[in-house]
A and B are shown apart, each in its own frame.
Chain A
């Protein structure tokens, strides 16, 4: 189904929203990468750049939504075209949220710049962030190539992202219990960890949209959503 439309401007409209989406994805990946680097190296200037850059991502999301609304109103897309514009709209929302998380990480990086590192946590956060950023990248590549297999691999990876988060949560909790003086920093770092974990969820959602786009059905959600962090708490408390 690679045939072009009889009305060629329809193709241009569809190409346009996809180009914007890919651009937005690139900016989000960059923001996540920079936020993680700023956190690991204590580079507050870079963190500020990430904070200030978020409005470009927001503006792109608005443009995509506006253009998609126009396509829906003027072209009344059906079948694969309909699924494409719906997927683009949904993915743009997820990317926008990822941009917000990058911004929030940068904000907290500035706030914790002078605080002591809690063990190896900033490095662990960077590893987690790299992992999750890789998921976003894979999810977008899967979308561009309409690659269901790759999209499924992203969904499978989210379990690992959740596990990394749980480990970090336990480690931060231990630090805070041992030295209550570290609670403020610990909480900041925990929020950062949670933000990164959420980015993984959005990457998963993007991958699901790709599967919907290609197959016409959303994958069934059969993953165990039990929050394993509560177990960590119980273990530490006992």
Chain B
């Protein structure tokens, strides 16, 4: 766990996985995100924090075009994954979401077996040619999500029969199964007890070795614990984006300080 303590210098060397430039998001007339530019680094956990309605989840959902499903939502500006504009007409959002996986607030396993939950993505994306290949993907994914030992003897049982924390890890396994490059997590621990939360946090730290992880959280302490970079959103604006240590010990903007220290800002 020692390597969680990155220095600013370490972070500067990180390669940029995703890049947003002057992104505006509108829900009808409501200007939800205002000119946000941000670099998401590879193999780094980036936390988005801010009060409810500040736009952090909206912005997160832009990163894998989940907002496409909302009719009145309009996204402007540029967003790149490995230098490629993800809002380009040639990009298939379904393929994009296999590369940029997502885990939601409430665990939402499919009403299928544990095995099928994990195997579903690789199957529809044609990632496995044989049953044994698929078995391997399921095992690797469950191991990555730290669920294998608990689930290996009950793979044929329904995913919904697992505990809340296990269900969330199953959803992480499902997201990991399509070999994504970026993992988006929208308050992944808000419905979990402290032990399950600790397990998911430990897992996030493990996942950072292979992926760029972006997490939206309402828990300041969680953001401080798991992330190396933190972005603070307020009223649709990106107020401050810096190394996590800096944000939590000596933020530059008084709005950030008011928010993280629990003041009326």
Contacts and interface: CB of A to CB of B under 8 A. Distances in A.
Interface stretch (B33-41, B94-102, B257-265): B257-265
A10 B264 CA distance: 13
B220 A3 contact: no
Contacts of B262: 5-7, 10
Given A3-B264, A10-B262, A76 B249 contact: no
A26 interface: no
13 contacts: A1-B257, A1-B263, A4-B264, A5-B263, A76-B220, A76-B221, A78-B249, A79-B250, A79-B251, A79-B257, A79-B260, A216-B249, A216-B250
A43 interface: no
A82 interface: yes
* Interface size band for A: 10 to 19
Interface of A: 1, 3-7, 10, 76-83, 216-217
A4 B221 CA distance: 20
Size bin of chain B's contact surface: 10 to 19
B249 A5 contact: no
A42 B248 CA distance: 53
Contact of A79 (B221, B249, B264): B249
B260 A78 contact: yes
Interface in B238-265: 248-251, 254, 256-258, 260-265
* Chain B binding surface SS class: helix
Nearest to B260: A78
A77 to B, nearest CB: 7
Contacts of A1: 254, 257-258, 263
A5 B221 CA distance: 17
- List the 6 closest A-B pairs by CB distance, nearest first: A216-B250, A3-B263, A78-B260, A79-B257, A81-B261, A78-B248
B250 A77 contact: no
A4 B263 contact: yes
A79 B224 CA distance: 11
Given A4-B264, A79-B261, 4 more contacts: A5-B261, A6-B262, A79-B249, A216-B249
B238 to A, nearest CB: 18
B50 to A, nearest CB: 14
Interface string B194-228: 00000000000000000000000000110010000
Nearest to B257: A79
A83 B250 contact: yes
A4 to B, nearest CB: 7
B261 A83 contact: no
B254 to A, nearest CB: 6
A77 B248 CA distance: 9
Contacts of B264: 3-4, 6
Nearest to B219: A76
A70 to B, nearest CB: 16
Contacts of B220: 76, 78
A80 B257 CA distance: 7
Interface string B104-142: 000000000000000000000000000000000000000
